[in-house]
Amino acid sequence: MTHALPYFEDFAPTTGASRRPRSCLHSDAPRIVLNGDWRFRLSPTPRGLSDEMADPAFDDSGWDEIPVPSHWVLGQDGRFGLPAYTNVQYPFPVEPPFVPDENPTGDYRVEIDVPTDWQSLERVVLRFEGVESAFKVWLNGDEVGTAMGSRLSHEFDVTASLRPGSNVLAVRVHQWSIASYLEDQDQWWMPGIFRDVTLLGRPEGGIDDAWTRAEYDHETGAGTVHVEVDAEPSAFPVTFEVEDLGIHVTWDTPADIAPVHVDRVEPWSAESPTQYQGFLRTNVEALSIRLGFRTVRIEGDRFLVNGRRVVFHGVNRHEAHPERGRVFDEEHARADMLLMKQHNVNAIRTSHYPPHPRVLDLADELGFWVIDECDLETHGFEFGGWVGNPSDDPRFADAYLDRIERTIERDKNHPSIVMWSLGNESGTGRNLAAMSAWVHRRDPGRPVHYEGDYTGEYTDVYSRMYSNLQETESIGSDVIPGDLLGCTPGEGMRQRTKPFILCEYVHAMGNGPGQIGEYEDLVLRYPRLHGGFVWEWRDHGILTETADGEAFYAYGGDFGEVVHDGNFVMDGMVLPDDTPTPGLAEYKAVVQPVAFGLERDGGSATLVVENRYHSISTAHASLVWVLAVDGDDVATGVLDAAAVAAGDTARIPLPADALDAGELAGGDTGGSAPEVWLTVQAILRDDAPWAEAGHVVAVQQFDLTPAPRPAVPARWVDADEETYPASGATRLTLGDGEFDLATGRLVRLGSLEVDGPRLELWRAPTDNDRSDSSGSYELADPRLTFGKGVPGPSSEARWRQAGLDRLTHRVRSVKVGSGSLMVVVRTSAAQSFDSVDTTYCWTEGADGDLGLRVDIVPSAGWAITWPRVGIRIDLPASVTNAEWFGTGPFESYPDSRRAALVGRFSSLVDDLGAVYSMPQETGHRSDLRELELGTFDGEGGIVIQARPDTAGRRPGFTASRHTPQELDRAAHPHELPASEAVHLYIDAAQHGLGSRACGLDVLPEHQLWPSARTLELTIRSR
């Protein structure tokens, strides 16, 4: 016997009194917000559940209470289940339209008190902004309808069921439904009524929907407003007014509505988000409308807004809160978006669904280019070769169209939206093509985006994710060897005519991403490339606790999920606790909208200022210069320069006092020329809506040092002075240091007990080190493989196989000279034929200083990269403070150092590294000149001066309370052992970061291959 499918397995996206989609309007008509505490009951399955709970007389006194909006798997101590994270795989069997009987189902009830005067309303509408994943609605026992589409707005006409006074609303929500197959979106699966619920009064003669399209003519400065009003003829006359533009127009009938022309308007852009307050009025209702004048065009392979090419310096933004999940928190969202603006982010892709409506209001207000993405992803079908993919299944046609219609109709009034996206990673097929056709008919003023349309059949831009540098450059230059991904030659020709964007790139998981700058260099070089959107903005960690109450941020598997994708959900440029990562600082520096260059001609110098903004001049910024000698500021000033127009370049002579200060580099300094650095900043003159006056928008440094300091080799005694330790001697004192002659290690420096140095080649693997998701650049040069590399194990796997995480050391010799000590140590791993000989040459200085030269010489057999090469010195746990002359304030690595500035910086040791939710390598600072580590009370410490090697390379440093081995063994920060020391690493070099967790391996020029290295240090106690 065949049974009818339950509604949550039915292909129809909505049933009953579901209304057609419309805008999220700001109306003065009456409304009742239903957010608050509702009665709640959870059942493990919908099978056998009756509808009796919808009866107003049903006794729900034994039910629990739950806040609406919320996810029932959050904030309830696990009694209603727990979240689950997957990236691609579905957490249930793939057999659409069916879902398992084990389908948690939540029943909600709430009493609504409706004013008596609502009887005069023509209609009453019940609006849900977000429910995951399918739901049925009853009012006063009457079944109203069903709906699916978790991140989409749904309205029901409840006029017939509503009564004055007390009403009972009942809602049944299913975690799994046929809609779940369309919502496989690389995020936590978290069911519930998680957005606002509102009862809307609709007066007779009101406006049901409105669309105001404000176009801008960049050649004349004029604006035109096209108004679309959805209202009954009885609602007219309708008045449209914008006081600041002198608009006051009344239309007596629908046929009278016509475009409104304005001779001069200020355009809207992401940099200057000018909006005008307007109103649409009938005799009974007024709609508040914000107008932003802008026009989007594609001309050839250029994406233009207001006639100018746009470069997207964007991020992918999921809705993620560490305690509330996808429940909207306006304060949190605004803080996030302010942080974006402060880091030069100008665009948002709403991955992978429309956000809460207020997010788009904020985007209009603060200024972002937005790609608004439909609530659609079927990525799990890729595991089956896309067989049965709903995107090409005609049974899903109505669901696909319903989703795109709801996206566009809700959000069509926002000037920030410059593209519609059909969804994400859903293969391709006729349903996507039909969505695109509908969008082009409904809104020809905005292009259509979808990365999965590899052939360009139904989209307007060529979009890719994670294309490598060689491929991206070939697309930008139109010199393309072979076919484009997924294209025949003919289809490739079509794609080559379109603007190109990277809808996802530089995957920001853990420490990284590397190589942001290389992508931006291509965007600057090739106008066809229009930038991209970093994956992604923030980590999705959920704040939870261990059994003994210790807080931590959970990722996949931490809630006992059998099917999960681990910490792949921790891949943002902002940590779960809202802390920006070093990767975000690097991104800000790479994409800064004002760039500087320096032209020198004899004794004069000219600053070159390039304005890379889309549409505004540099009038909002002061250009401040600072001259520093050996890290100390000696002169500063503000350049008196005219504003530079968008897209223009200006040359500004540097003032004489800056050049005079530069003369310090040529003075008599005892034969050691000081370092002279000129730093130029563009800073906000006045407060802006997104940052206070003084905020640094852009910064660049220039090295004015006329010549490098001469290298000072470490002193060693002559051969005939060489002696060996006296028989029975166990200790040696040189200057401030005491050495153990059995190991040759320094064991005391002044009042500090220390241990070291010893060679270190291991670092706690980063998420990128751990991954083999893309081709290896260690095994094949990307320049010879069109950026693909070859399939190969992760860097971590190769390093572990070589035993770099478990090195052993053997002292080969300890030799004592006159005021000197030489120690030779061989380092290798079990079953390894490769080794490293390290020679430590200590010399005693006149003031108790210790000179240390470290020569690191690998054997000839090494065939892998190294994570790092340097030395480790263990210091007491009482060491708390760090001050250094080198690069900072942020950490830096070979392929992530454009944010690194040379200067003098300070930090607590505990703050030197980022606290990633999965512990890993962090905290390295490059180009060290001088380092001082001291105790909080100032009673002890170590001072290290570092000189460049003969190739001019300076070392870097890391100071951490945990060793790489300890970090490596911990899956979360709370699993780290109690700290017993501070571990100082002076690295001759580090391997790059890359973004291989989902992207590029480390480029050859940033890889660390074994070779001889030298450290030249001076060490003393403080």
CA distances from 850 to 126, 591, 662, 844, 1021 (A): 78, 43, 32, 5, 9
User: Which portions of the chain are predicted below pLDDT 50?
Assistant: 1-2, 662, 665-671, 714-723
504 is catalytic: yes
Tokens linked to 824: 């030779």
Alpha-carbon distance of 595 to 740, in angstroms, equals 53
Hey, what CATH topology would domain 209-294 get? Immunoglobulin-like (2.60.40)
Catalytic residue selected from 504, 520, 796, 1016 = 504
What is the rounded distance in angstroms from the CA atom of residue 811 to the CA atom of residue 744?
A: 8
d(CA 148, CA 319): 19
Architecture of domain 617-703: Sandwich (2.60)
Query: If we measure between CA atoms, which residue out of 59, 19, 65 comes closest to residue 42?
Result: 65
Q: Which of 215, 405, 425, 760 is catalytic?
A: 425
Instruction: Output the CA–CA distances (angstroms, integers) from residue 536 to 665, 772, 895, 945, in the order listed.
Output: 44, 20, 19, 39
Pairing mode, strands 312-316 and 347-349: parallel
Structure tokens, 258 = 């016509």
Tokens found for residue 690: 């997104």
Say which residues have a Cβ less than 8 Å from residue 866's Cβ, sequence separation at least 6. Answer: 761, 799, 804, 991, 1008, 1009, 1010
The topology (CATH level 3) of 719-1021 is Beta-galactosidase; Chain A, domain 5 (2.70.98)
pLDDT for 657: 78
Residue 669: what pLDDT?
40
d(CA 126, CA 375): 21
Q: Give the pLDDT confidence of 796-826 residue by residue, as tens digits.
A: 999 999 999 999 999 999 999 999 999 999 9
pLDDT computed for residue 101 by the predictor:
98
pTM of the model: 0.96
The torsion angle over the Cα atoms of residues 584, 587, 591 and 593, rounded to 10 degrees, is 30
Nearest to 617 by CA among 643, 640, 636, 591: 643
Cis upstream peptide for 536 (omega within 30°): yes
Question: What residue has token string 């571990």?
Answer: 983
pLDDT at 724: 54
Known catalytic residue at 425: yes
Q: What is the pLDDT of residue 811?
A: 97
User: How many whole angstroms separate alpha carbon 267 and alpha carbon 274?
Assistant: 6
Domain 7-202 fold: Jelly Rolls (2.60.120)
Pair of tokens at residue 250: 């009344």
Predicted confidence (pLDDT) per residue in 281-333, tens digit: 999 999 999 999 999 999 999 999 999 999 999 999 999 999 999 999 999 99
- Same topology, domains 209-294 and 298-589? Answer is no
- CA 188 to chain CA mean position, Å: 17
In the chain, what are the domain boundaries?
Answer: 7-202, 209-294, 298-589, 617-703, 719-1021
Query: Can you say how many angstroms the Cα of residue 557 is from the centroid of all Cα atoms in its chain?
Result: 22
- Calculate ∠ Cα 708-954-857, nearest 5°: 120
Q: Which CATH class is domain 298-589?
A: alpha beta
pLDDT at 670: 41
Q: What is the DSSP pairing of strand 462-465 with strand 500-505? A: parallel
Query: Comparing C-alpha atoms, which of 4, 326, 15, 320 is closest to residue 148?
Result: 15
> Which residues are 155's β-sheet partners?
127
